[in-house]
Amino acid sequence: MKKIKLERCICIAVDQGNFNVKSCGPNDAAEPFPTGLNHHGDVPPPMVAGSLKVNGQYFSITNNRLQTRRDKTSDEDYFVLTLAAVANEIRNLFPGGTEYECEVALALGLPVEHLSLKVNGVLLREKYRTFFGNNGKPIDYTSDGVVFHIRVVDVGVYAQTISAAIADSHVYGQMLQSNRSYIIDIGGGTTNVIAIIDRRPQNPGITLEEMGVFELFKLAHRSVMEDCGRNVDDFMLDVLMQGKQACTANMADALERAKNEFVKRLILELESRKVDLDMGFICMVGGGSILLYDAFQRYVTMRGNQNIVIIPDVKANAKGYYAQEMARLAAAGVEVYRGAAKA
């Protein structure tokens, strides 16, 4: 048994996506994981790997992802997923422990227009601070059989999408030098857009509901079934679209057809919201953008706009949250771990 007690606070950012949960800590080593969550009640699951015990209840991470939701405080699911991400970052920072005790500063994000959204009379960002901070009470749980005793001492809630662009200072600098720029964040359930005009981010942002990777996969399922007579699940669609596994020529054509159809729909939706794709610097971020960048770039450049780039890091939003939270903590004089220090 090896208990590790950390004397300084650890800043951990969690991008609570609809498709994957991404996190960033001092050494940025933890891998994203899917938002699927099985509930086992008070009965331990058969395998320890990927399991959690929170408030006496058992859970396990799966690939059967949760339904898209605007308010991630509506039930316990994202609280559990966030604790899993925190555990992953702590274990990567200080490996080998069987029990950990520490304070955590949590950095989260919301679409920019949701930062001022009220739910039942309460600002959503304030609900996030209270809910994911557990009202300042200690949280005792296990993840992958390892015990954690944490207390969330701060919860910062930052603007999604622009945080991803901030994570790449070179690209963000290019955007600020342009008269008009757009950050297009294609996520699991939605596409979020922020315009920057004369160096100023514009409020509110734009959220296109049901225009994310889940919708892309619906089109891909249909195309592959029609062209190949195959029923391919979301996991394999993701693998194939990322080029991690080869497939037949007709299946590759079916996937390309689905991408092109999705991009056409997306461009029509964006233009209906007065997003000028012909006359702006375009920065694409998010996991969906990685899958769709080639098709999207092709349509935009065909129309004469060569000013389009991608930040190909699925953790870009989390890295942006982390940088902003670290700056806020430094301004408040809070001592935190910086780098893979020893406990």
- For the stretch 29-64, pLDDT in tens is 899 999 999 999 999 999 999 999 999 999 999 999
> For residue 308, which of 270, 257, 253, 255 has the smallest C-alpha distance?
270
Rounded Cα distance between 341 and 339, Å, is 6
Residue 341: pLDDT above 80?
no
In the chain the first and final C-alpha atoms are separated, in Å, by 16
Q: What is the pTM of this model?
A: 0.94
Least confident of 150-159, 200-209, 213-222, 240-249: 200-209
CA angle 207, 172, 112 (to 5 degrees): 25
Residues 164-219 pLDDT 10s: 999 999 999 999 999 999 999 999 999 999 999 999 998 888 999 999 999 999 99
Q: Which pLDDT belongs to residue 1?
A: 77
What's the whole-number mean pLDDT along residues 82-100? Answer: 96
Q: Which pLDDT belongs to residue 342?
A: 39
Q: Give all domains of the chain, ordered by start, each with its CATH number.
A: 3-160+317-331 (3.30.420.40), 168-312 (3.30.420.40)
